[in-house]
Amino acid sequence: MATLPSSHCCHTYSQPLPPSSSSSSVSYLPVYSSVHGRLRRVSISSIPRRFVSAKLSLQNAVGLQDGPAAPAVNPIDNEAPFEKLKDGLLSAPSSKESKDTAVFNVNESESTVSITVVGASGDLAKKKIFPALFALFYEDCLPKHFTIYGYARSKMTDAELRDMVSKTLTCRIDKRENCGEKMDQFLQRCFYHSGQYDSQDHFAELDKKLKEHEAGRVPNRLFYLSIPPNIFIDAVCCASSSASSGNGWTRVIVEKPFGRDSESSATLTSALKQYLEEDQIFRIDHYLGKELVENLSVLRFSNLIFEPLWSRQYIRNVQFIFSEDFGTEGRGGYFDNYGIIRDIMQNHLLQILALFAMETPVSLDAEDIRNEKVLIVLAWCQVKVLRSMRPLQLENVVTGQYKSHVRGGITYPAYTDDKTVPKDSLTPTFAAAALFIDNARWDGVPFLMKAGKALHNKRAEIRVQFRHVPGNLYRSIGTDLDRATNELVIRVQPDEAIVLKINNKVPGLGMRLDRSNLNLHYAARYSKEIPDAYERLLLDAIEGERRLFIRSDELDAAWALFTPLLKEIEEKKVIPEYYPYGSRGPVGAHYLAARYKVRWGDVDVEV
């Protein structure tokens, strides 16, 4: 970890600080090839590990050649190669260490991973983190040696933690007969330690317990901060000083919100970097772990039919739609401090937009992908320098707040009916915005975002509406041109699907057109259930894969885009448009789209 500053944030310092350790990211996988008859090792660090066959043996690795056949290599023990490779990967050195060692030795001592869920008694830990860890264990994705510790202020025994966790676990993957046995095995790896988040002594006690389970193996440690952001720094300070790994890697997963504007976000980042290196910080946005978001780049970059169309020449507009059919319901106090723009648009939707609009990255390497995303977002933030992007204007934004509504004899509450929300609150529960990227690829294309609570349905999707066919031959038969345009729908949730809407002739002697769907419905196409986003992201964090985590400069750029708009809304006390609970949202959102000759794709949704 980073060198600790002279001023301490933790309480009761009674023990010396352990040696700092760098973060770990697996940078090299040993692959042998022959050049001029000599063996050399080739780095394939640019390929994420999960894209390399999991059962790659060292003997097979030797077979990857770029010259004459390589001679046999006897010193390498090839017995049980997968287990050795798996443990070796998880104990690989950090990027900083890699520069000194060039490659890691697969014959090093076995490693172990200790996962500490800080805030283990909270809803997120119970509903998402522990079930995701069990799913990974169930699918044999966790390393051979691992331990899970819950850490929170609540007094609890190991048995009580296991009982609490067991109530949230399900064998949802394929309901194998050994589910109960796997649950028991998983729960036996779960332990609990009670402590304050700002106590170095309590984290030092945790450190002793972790060492007992690590049993002399190379210790790798992952801390998941499932706690309010106001105590992030205290927990990180104490974990880094008292419970970091001495000779393995230490990583910290940080949940949003990452501040509430540019200034607070920069302060948080600066404070975290007092105790952690950037590559130890994994800022999680669970939407980036969604299967269809992960598939977005595959759809575009591996299908020749889409890549040439991915520009202003063929795309009329792109819509990012997020809706929930419930209100704040118990989270009013938290939500009122942030609002829908900070909670959904500034992170989830903007990150997806950046993935959608980015240029082709050099490789699948995490840094190459994140560099392209940053360039898209930075184009918005550096308007005065690059003159490439119009800043977000208040006139291109519509805000709303849901009000009480009676439907079917049931009265649904207004946002301000929540006892934790001030009666005069102007916090938006709905927002729609039009954004523009003025570069060669996207000049003039409206990127429309819409997010809201207490709407008529629950969905998250990307809608790509293509331009009209020039000189359409079938205009004369009364075709609705708006409805006749092609549309690509990527439904992120629920009921994941990719749908391409096309025009075709209805069978018969006459000439009548119909709009049909070419539908990749995941539930129908694939029998295996789709993993939860937290499963993917937790596995990535354990493996050191950073593609789907947010880098500090990405975060800075995103806040630089939205902070001026948010300040203007708050300073002018903009009154949101009120919409009934369970409706389609404010009428103003439709006027906003119409200004750019666009109709929201979910208005008369067939798909």
Structure tokens at 562: 């939205």
Identify whether the C-beta of residue 360 lies closer than 8 Å to the C-beta of residue 375: no
The residue type found at 330 is G
Q: Which amino acid is at 305?
A: I
**Residue 545 to residue 25: CA distance in whole angstroms:** 7
Residue pair 138/529 in contact by the 8 Å Cβ criterion: no
Residue partners of 159: CB distance under 8 A and separation at least 6? none
The answer to whether the CB of 246 falls within 8 A of the CB of 19 is yes
For Cα atoms 12, 1, 146, give the angle at the middle one, nearest 5 degrees.
Answer: 90
Out of 145, 348, 468, 590, pick the active-site residue: 348
CA distance 380 to 577: 27
CA distances 197 to 146, 221, 265, 312, 337, Å, are 23, 17, 21, 50, 23
What is the distance between the terminal CA atoms of the chain, rounded to a whole angstrom? 49
- What DSSP element (H or E) covers 131? helix 130-138
Cβ neighbours of 303 (radius 10 Å): 10
Nearest to 254 by CA among 210, 294, 285: 285
Buried b (16+ CB within 10 A) or exposed e, 174-210: eeeeebeebbeebbebbbbbbbbbbbbbbbbbbbebb
- 3-state secondary structure (DSSP) of residue 430: strand
What stretch of H or E contains 410?
strand 410-412
SS3 of 138-166: the string is HCCCCCCCEEEEEEECCCCCHHHHHHHHH
Report how far residue 193's alpha carbon sits from residue 197's, in angstroms, rounded to the nearest whole number. Answer: 12
Helices (DSSP H) in 188-286: which residue ranges?
200-214, 232-242, 262-272
Task: Report the amino acid identity of residue 511.
Answer: M
The position carrying tokens 């043996």 is 57
Tokens 């014959």, located at residue: 107
Task: Specify the pairing of strand 146-152 against strand 111-118.
Answer: parallel
CA angle 386, 387, 393 (to 5 degrees): 125
What interhelical angle do 291-301 and 350-357 show, nearest 10? 20
- Interatomic CA distance for residues 224 and 128, integer angstroms: 12
Question: Where are the alpha helices (H) located in 391-550, listed in sequence order?
Answer: 481-484, 522-525, 533-543
Q: Is 590 a catalytic residue?
A: no
Catalytic machinery residues: 348
